[in-house]
Amino acid sequence: MPWMIYGANGYTGELIAKEAAKRGMRPILAGRNADKVGALAQALSLPSRVFGLDTPEDIQQGLADVDLVLNCAGPFSQTAEPMMLACIQAKAHYLDITGEIDVFELAQELSPKAKKAKIVLCPGVGFDVIPTDCVAARLKEQMPEAVSLTLGFDSRSGLSSGTAKTTVESLKLGGRVREDGVIKSVGLAHKTRDINYGNGTKFSVSIPWGDVSTAFHSTGIRNVEVFIPSSPKNARMMRAANLARPLLGMGFVQTILKGQAGKVQGPNEETRAKAPTYVWGEATDAEGRTLVARVKTANGYSLTVTGSLAVASYILMEKNITGGAYTPSKLMGSDLVERLDGSGKIQLSDA
């Protein structure tokens, strides 16, 4: 089955393309930059295509005879919708490596159309959000009566330019949580708490991570929050930034900040190898009983490479997957993260 990595010339797309070639896979490398896409394709002896996402016609031509697209071109707030719609039209499965809540919600909205087209929509097949999604699903399996879910991770992966640009976009949106099944806008650093992710207890702040969407669709648990380590000083700065959110959302400010984000260089192989990720989750039932899950994984970017290729390979090999929108754990089970290189087993405890 012919498949494509779109945005292959970006930091993460290139990592995935190189690993795919190393495994003997033959993806079509695609993107908007003819020089960069062509050079990478030549270096890896892979086919390539160049097209933008400006019109449906351009995308349909670019997707001719393609059965699966792995979209690595961010910010996904700009690329996911046109590519999803084109994939539905072309009857090609859609994957991406986003962590953006709105993209996950869009996939769920488009699920009936994907089901009719008999294709899979599964955004978030990387560090955003495989580990946390699998932790959420495992907690639900072990505590079916859970009414709230808190997730978190400690990652020292660093940022690529694409991730930095997505972070800039998220500043104008503030924080988000899910309460009683509904996604609610809150301030940045809405909550703080101390969490032991598996490497010592750390002061942490809430963030608008993709699990605010995906964990609900994976588990049905109607209250979801996500945390990362921070410091009291940074938490105060984030809360102060809430006052500037209208300014941060202005077009010229976004342009300036994204320009700076575009200069960010992703971590090299040595840095990635030395930076594992610690993932934590806590489910609570109506009686106040709690169950905690922890797992140590590879660096976020390394996990994105292995995770995205695992999901792509699964779909390319399986012939009878029911079409529709999926989360990673719904598609491949809560043990998906445990099957990836560099990941341990999910450990459960009462505290």
263: which 2 tokens? 């200069």
Mean pLDDT on 36-41: 98
Residue 163 has a pLDDT of 60
pLDDT band, very low/low/confident/very high, at 258 (cuts 50, 70, 90): low
Give the E-state strand segments of 51-162 in sequence order. 68-71, 93-96, 120-122, 146-155
Angle separating helix axes 161-171 and 76-90, nearest 10 degrees: 110
Burial of 58 (0-12, 13-18, 19+ CB in 10 A): middle
Q: Which CATH superfamily is domain 130-300 in?
A: Dihydrodipicolinate Reductase; domain 2 (3.30.360.10)
Whether 137 has a pLDDT exceeding 90, the answer reads yes
Residue 237 has pLDDT above 90, yes or no: no
In the predicted structure, residue 256 carries a pLDDT above the cut 80: no
Q: What is the pLDDT of residue 262?
A: 63
The closest of 205, 103, 105 to 153, measured between CA atoms, is: 205
- The residues pairing with 120 across neighbouring beta strands, listed in sequence order, are 324
146-192 pLDDT, tens per residue? 999 999 999 877 655 566 565 656 666 789 999 999 999 999 889 99
Q: What is the pLDDT of residue 100?
A: 94
Is the previous residue joined to 276 through a cis bond, with omega within 30 degrees of 0? Answer: no
The predicted structure's pLDDT at residue 128 = 80
pLDDT in tens, 191-222: 999 999 999 999 999 999 999 999 999 999 99
Q: How confident is the model at residue 36 (pLDDT cuts 50, 70, 90)?
A: very high
- Candidates 33, 75, 251; CA nearest to 161 is 75
Handedness of CA 293, 124, 309, 221 (dihedral sign): positive
The pLDDT value recorded for residue 251 is 76
User: What's the pLDDT score for residue 3?
Assistant: 98
Residue 331 DSSP code: H
Cα–Cα dist 86/82, whole Å:
6
Query: Does the structure show a pLDDT above 70 at 326?
Result: yes
Following DSSP, what letter does each residue of 15-71 receive, concatenated? HHHHHHHHTT--PEEEES-HHHHHHHHHHHT--EEE--SSSHHHHHHHTTT-SEEEE
Q: What is the pLDDT of residue 238?
A: 84
CATH 3.30.360.10 intervals, the chain:
130-300
- Under the banding of pLDDT at 50, 70 and 90, the label for residue 265 is low
Q: How confident is the model at residue 243 (pLDDT cuts 50, 70, 90)?
A: confident
* Amino acid occupying residue 180: D
Report the predicted TM-score, pTM, of the whole model to 2 decimal places.
0.92
> What letter would DSSP give residue 199?
S
Class of domain 3-126+301-333: alpha beta
CATH 3.40.50.720, the chain: domain bounds:
3-126+301-333
Residue type, 26: R
**Greater confidence, 74 or 280?**
280
> How far apart are alpha carbons 90 and 117 in whole angstroms?
9
Query: pLDDT category, 268, cuts 50, 70, 90?
Result: confident
